[in-house]
Chain A
Amino acid sequence: MESLSNKKKVLEQKPLSFMERMYLPAIAKGMGITISHLFKKEATVRYPEVEREFSTNFRGMHSLKRDENGKERCTACGLCALSCPAEAITMIAAERKPEEKHLYREEKYAATYEINMLRCIFCGLCEEACPKEAIYLDGPIVPADYLRKDFIYGKDKLVEAPLEMKK
């Protein structure tokens, strides 16, 4: 049948020529190629000691931000938990007491805030949903661990260090 696409190519199997049957020229060529790779730069990154450079929009571990006075920005509105497609975020809200004014920016704050790092898909929808600019995925790679319970990160791991500690 006539080929419509005109892409058909008839392959013919020719018997090997004498030079090809000697194998040696082809082997020498192949050996030359492999030895040239001996002098090329390795693609390997020695991971725990050396880290590959990330792109500028890399999304790593979450951090809960503080404002310029060192108060926690999060008001426990729950929009991040609502927007999370993996349902990785939970929180419990609490009311700020008068003596805690220097700790939390607004009257309501997150008493506990947990992200399950095994559920999280690092899509970044929580940081887009947040009206208070409180959560950003600007951390490093989430480290490996042995137990499932150790992957549920609480406020102790998520909240940014206080201002005086940063300095």
Chain B
Amino acid sequence: MDSAFVIEKFILVAVIFGISLVIAMYSTYAERKVAAYLQDRLGPDRAGPFGILQPLADGVKMFMKEEIIPASSNRWLFIVGPGLALLCACIGTAVIPWGSPMEIGGKIVPLQVADINVGVLYIFGVVSLGVYGVMIGGWASNNKYSLLSAIRAASQNISYEIAMGLSVIALLLMTNTLSLKEIVDQQHGLNWNVWYQPLGFLIFMVCSFAETNRAPFDLPECETELIGGYHTEYSSMKLGFYLFAEYINMFVSSAVMAALYWGGYNYPGMDYVAAHLGPTWAPLIGTAVFFGKIVMFIFFFMWVRWTIPRFRYDQLMNLGWKGLIPLAIANIIITGIVIAIIEKF
């Protein structure tokens, strides 16, 4: 391992980390703006032009607030909880291919931190670890509402992870690989997986709403029943960590959906662009397209949040176990049969 490799990866990690934090920051702003415009309001517009400094003001507010650790809480776990939530949210970005390899000064640099051959499995592993942050925080608070919320989060995540995994299996039957990079490369041009797996994509999307604890599946933090949910007892930047982790999760799951089903950095006419702009600039266009898709998905997340009311707990479980899992299994069977027929003839 030469030092150039280490430096290259280090820079890439720093850039991706920075970008995901900035996107999470501005997601909070975008969420409030989208909510406002969907409700015929204006949203934050006091801090800076159009209120674009609002996230900074919120960050300062979070840091300045008094830090309270309840006396009856499990102190160590109380501190670990938000850190774990944020960590699990951030490390998901490591296997996502942000662009096709880029040529910088005669050197080919892959725009992906780690192209591991079990990328999809890694994402699933990290996402399911994420619930530990919520569970530990909820349990360590020593508060009934936090505990109830932690239980809800755990059962919800476990239920929807099954349907999510099953919907991806149908995709893997088509792609024959678990590497995210290869899956994206197979979707050259407009040959996106969503045209072949519309049902699989729908199930995956519904499950990722549940995995990120977003409306209409935001039962773990429903204010009307559970005060603040698992972060009832949290204050200051620990609360900020939880809120941040939610937005980073949203960013990562948008990126995964865009990469798995919506062609990642592929777009129609990419060969023409690659031939004319050269190997240095063409990948950047692809990356921009990828981020455009991610932003569309983040907007979709917010749009859904301000449209659909929250599911009741039994409806949530009904939908997950009796609706999505049988559908996902049927999708696997149909995909298998179609693939077998195509290979036969």
Residues of A within 8 A of B (CB): 21, 23, 27, 30-31, 33-35, 37-38, 40-44, 46
Contact = CB atoms under 8 A, between A and B. Distances in A.
13 contacts: A31-B304, A31-B307, A34-B38, A34-B303, A34-B306, A34-B307, A37-B40, A41-B40, A42-B36, A42-B37, A43-B40, A44-B41, A44-B42
Given A27-B307, A34-B303, A46-B45, 14 more contacts: A21-B323, A27-B308, A30-B307, A31-B303, A31-B304, A34-B38, A34-B307, A35-B38, A37-B37, A37-B40, A38-B37, A42-B36, A42-B41, A44-B41
Among A33, A34, A38, A44, max chain B CB count under 10 A is at: A34
Nearest to B45: A46
A37 B36 CA distance: 10
A41 B307 CA distance: 19
B47 to A, nearest CB: 14
B224 interface: no
Interface string B31-53: 00000111111100100000000
Contacts of A27: 307-308
Contact of A37 (B38, B319, B323): B38
A35 B42 contact: no
B302 to A, nearest CB: 10
Contacts of B41: 42-44
A70 B129 CA distance: 80
A43 B308 CA distance: 23
Interface of B: 36-42, 45, 303-304, 306-308, 319, 323
Given A37-B37, A38-B37, A30 B45 contact: no
A21 B319 CA distance: 9
Contacts of B308: 27, 30
A34 B300 CA distance: 12
Contacts of B307: 27, 30-31, 33-34
Given A27-B308, A30-B308, A40 B40 contact: yes
B154 to A, nearest CB: 24
Contacts of B40: 37, 40-44
A18 B39 CA distance: 31
Nearest to B315: A23
A57 to B, nearest CB: 28
Contacts of A37: 37-40
Contacts of A21: 323
Of all A-B residue pairs in the complex, the 5 with the closest CB atoms, nearest first, are A44-B42, A34-B307, A30-B307, A34-B38, A38-B37
Contacts of A44: 40-42
Nearest to B34: A38
Nearest to A43: B40
Nearest to B46: A46
B294 to A, nearest CB: 20
B42 A42 contact: yes
A46 B42 contact: yes
B42 A38 contact: no
B54 to A, nearest CB: 15
A27 B36 CA distance: 20
Nearest to A26: B308
A21 B324 CA distance: 12
> Which of B45, B304, B307 gathers most chain A CB within 10 Å?
B307
Contacts of B37: 37-38, 42
A33 B306 CA distance: 11
A9 B39 CA distance: 34
Contacts of B304: 31
A35 B45 contact: no
Nearest to A32: B307
